[in-house]
A and B are shown apart, each in its own frame.
Chain A
């Protein structure tokens, strides 16, 4: 049906159908599989038990990220330092053993390319437009910023992909999030995606793949697009997409695993053909006015609990849905906030700049621009900057950003997932608040009892300076 106008999602889907069943489910070929230490041990164990090999180790890349401490990994003499937590050490050791045993390329914890899977994939040119990309991690949606159909899977599916390089899937519904106009000055891609999630809710995209459309995304950097698509899962959508364009191609050209020569030319020609056709229909459409987006912050324990920084904590009774009212009451109790309280008066004790959402070079530049020549407030006890990869770290150091952070009183760390979910030693103490550039403000996410306020990198930097949630536009 070549004459039918198709969306970007439908074009990628159609190019990957191995078999279509009568009920509409399809066996879909997977082009790229990222593997980390947390969601893979049981999958490798199952393969071993069944005597099954990995079908396409050359389409698979393994890198540790979740458990790694962000403190130095080698001592002064260059020897590898042991991981103190025995369970973390065991999980990391399993990946280090499993990857080579199954013929999979492994990026070592001390390699300069190591980092968060969702930073490493694009950075290495492993993640490509038009590709189907999976990883046992829900933030795989991130890679949609390159125009890839990328989504998180569970461990049984990790096993399925390792063994068969396919997944049995039902087609998703399509959803367009169209942003009209331009973002106001001082408003970042993170503010935009928080605003979108606040509008459509955490289940707004369930069953759908979102395509973000509009001039805002065309003008947005690749780093910004990755940030936006990353949080699609927080809106319930398994994947988010932004059409690949000249910016995408420029970002990927010459990356280590990106196609070269004639393959590159063929790739660009195909990638260019993937954009949604004029007249293609979406199952659902949401329109957002960019001018209405402001620096955003979360007040509750769901990523949909978003208000502009100048706003106040809402009253639970202001929600129409009685169960949302109940959830809001519980959230406010957990967060130690009261209805009507101004967000920009809320004091914070911790700052986390990092995570697969906001740890790329542009994020660090945005934070450093605010922190340059300033120091963190006395009430901020713990403030860490965790670059998304060793390459981001090296780039930031080449630009002198590490000096800016250190001079401002922040700690400059080694790459990893860190305090986004606190599987490593980086945790926020119970009852304390954290201005965090991560993606989830769930109960206990950053540590038992920790209170998370999701913000952009510039806003996190502003909070570090003033010691409270702050409109960064007041500091620039």
Chain B
């Protein structure tokens, strides 16, 4: 995965709350067997409106999306993260995310920045005319107008994003601990540990 350090540029001033992953990428796009090419289906229903934000030339190619509370709720489809990524979005800023979307974004190197509603409101205003700058190392979002908002991020996620680490590879390196758990589970929880290989 590509390391993430700073994200700089235009931001879609979207701001809508409770945007579900069916809105981000509808079901007919889920038949793909690849992670690529979903950008054209991203926010498809909203883009039926000729005046929609996502096809507005003013924001074309913006790497940042500013959203409302509970962004990415509903279906667990990682296609939502892939679609955003394919549309060029590298960071989302919102007051909160669904638990599953937040994980999916992270696994795909999309920085999901959590800021209070007041800060998001201010950034929605700025984004209409000016770029936004996100620095992961210092955990700050800044604007050309001296705005400076700091955000919290899980230290492990930050470490992985900054270094572009592959989480599967990291966990595989813990093989001894996993094997030791399995040995112990065979004793203490045999009915779970045995699996289905024995069943007809």
Contact = CB atoms under 8 A, between A and B. Distances in A.
A323 B73 CA distance: 16
Given A18-B174, A18-B181, A128-B191, A58 B103 contact: no
Interface stretch (B93-101, B126-134, B136-144): B93-101
Interface stretch (A39-47, A336-344, A354-362, A397-405): A39-47
A21 B167 CA distance: 15
A444 B45 contact: yes
Nearest to B170: A168
B181 A29 contact: yes
A299 interface: no
B146 interface: no
A30 B137 CA distance: 33
Contacts of B32: 87, 91
Contact of A259 (B74, B75, B191): B191
A202 B168 contact: no
A443 B22 contact: yes
B20 interface: yes
Interface string A139-175: 0100000000000111111011001111010101000
B135 interface: no
B31 A423 contact: yes
Interface in A2-29: 15, 18-19, 21, 23, 25, 27, 29
Contacts of B77: 38-39, 154
Contacts of B17: 323-324, 327
Given A154-B100, A448-B45, A206 B167 contact: no
B27 A423 contact: yes
A105 interface: yes
Interface string B85-109: 0000000000010111001100110
Interface residues of A, number: 84
B100 A256 contact: no
A52 interface: yes
Contacts of B200: 256
Given A29-B178, A61-B196, A157-B103, A263 B31 contact: no
A429 interface: no
Nearest to B68: A323
A138 B103 CA distance: 13
B126 to A, nearest CB: 19
A157 B103 CA distance: 9
Interface of B: 16-18, 20, 22-23, 26-28, 30-35, 45, 68-70, 73-78, 81, 96, 98-100, 103-104, 107-108, 154-156, 167-168, 171-172, 174, 177-178, 181-182, 185, 188-197, 199-200
